A = this chain, B = another copy of it.
Amino acid sequence: MCAEIEREKVRQAQTILAEKGIDLWLTFVRESSTNPDPVLDLILGTSVTWQSIFLIPAEGETVALVGSLDVAHVKEKGVFDLVVGYRESLRPELLRWMERFAPRRIAINFSRDDVLADGLSHGLYLLLLDYLSGTPFVERLESAESVIAALRGRKTESELERIRRAVKQTQDMIALLDRVLRPGMTELEVAQFLRQEMERRGLAPAWDPEYCPSVFTGPESAGAHSPPTDRRIEPGHLMNIDFGVILGGYASDLQRTWYFRRPGESAPPAEVEQAFRAVRDAISLAAEALRPGVEGWRVDQVAREHILSCGFEEYPHALGHQIGRKAHDGAGLLCPRWERYGRLAFDPVEAGQVYTLEPRVTVPGRGVATIEEIVVVRADGAEFLSDRQMELYMK
């Protein structure tokens, strides 16, 4: 049940609240296995059924207000200092505790830009306004996005250890795959090999099992979030995989690329080799640029400009995302300043964050060269958590 990590994160949340001058963090959910707020994994580690409110003050005891049927299992988790049950209505308990805390600034879980800080549904938001109507608290609500971004982003050593183990397992499975790969295999067969290995090890995929692992071969392959097909690996083509697992509640996310030689070829064609090196060196340059305080878009730009300077097209996505409990673990992001990324491009990098670095280059007639590595940001720069792919794998 690993409630130790949740307790550690709730204590960390209180430190972050104090740092940001926010008095109370309020998380409001219902039927959370149907309509989850992603922060619950971090601060509770279980689901609740009736309307429930979790109150984390910058100082003092933390309080969970939950339906009477949820009291026992929320207590058992041992994360919240007080677990208070209700039967007919949450409103009176909420008002009682708000008066006791008397917060001047109240953070709630909505965000235009960060999906992991946007767990409050619009209906529950309206209900919260209704519950608080006639009190001064209704005017004191603000977005918890900076709190949640810091809490998810600043990994504790026990969180880093879990990510390291997930990465190690993923690398081991990819090494096993490398032994059996040969031209003629289909994308589905490649995926099936990794799925069976995952199952054998009791691991879950890090994202939608329909496309985790993703496998893409040749110049005609589908878009990056498509399931594997019965397309066969052909000599002269590139194949890449995108694969991650969840271990101890934490994710990995790696991409690797192979080239399949034509009869008589001893090395990949020059343009394939150049594309691979452009990707690899873009990662090296981005890792050098990745330090606490730099805005995410600047790190993306270093990689993007390197790819362009090598004469290739820029990749149509972000350079990298954070990783943690989720494969896409929320703000900030190493992304270009495109409208769909909103303000995420401008978040300064913080120490303790774990990022993927994943540029790609399409080689006409060959397929896609791509690598995805994982790094943790330390006070003095990036440290790789994955064993880098420095050479194109060849078959």
Contacts and interface: CB of A to CB of B under 8 A. Distances in A.
A38 B121 CA distance: 12
Contacts of A87: 316, 338
A116 to B, nearest CB: 7
A118 B121 contact: yes
A121 to B, nearest CB: 4
Interface in A25-52: 30-31, 33-36, 38, 46-51
A208 B77 CA distance: 15
Interface string A46-60: 111111000000000
Contacts of A30: 115
Contacts of A70: 223, 225
Oligomer: number of copies = 2
Contacts of A208: 33, 46-47
B49 A38 contact: no
A127 interface: yes
A224 interface: yes
Nearest to A114: B123
Given A118-B124, A210-B46, A210-B73, A339 B225 contact: no
B90 A112 contact: no
B89 A339 contact: yes
Bin the interface of chain A by size.
35 or more
A259 to B, nearest CB: 23
A111 interface: yes
A130 B343 CA distance: 14
Interface of A, helix, strand, loop or mixed by DSSP: loop
Given A34-B115, A123-B111, A208-B47, A68 B340 contact: no
A328 B90 contact: no
Interface in A113-137: 113-127, 130
Interface in A62-112: 67-73, 76, 86-91, 110-112
Contacts of A20: none
A35 B340 contact: no
Interface of A: 30-31, 33-36, 38, 46-51, 67-73, 76, 86-91, 110-127, 130, 143, 207-208, 210-211, 222-227, 316-317, 326, 328, 338-340
30 contacts: A30-B115, A31-B328, A33-B208, A34-B38, A35-B36, A35-B115, A35-B116, A48-B225, A51-B340, A69-B223, A69-B316, A71-B223, A72-B225, A73-B210, A73-B223, A73-B227, A76-B226, A76-B227, A87-B338, A110-B122, A112-B123, A112-B126, A117-B123, A118-B122, A119-B121, A120-B122, A121-B121, A122-B124, A123-B143, A125-B125
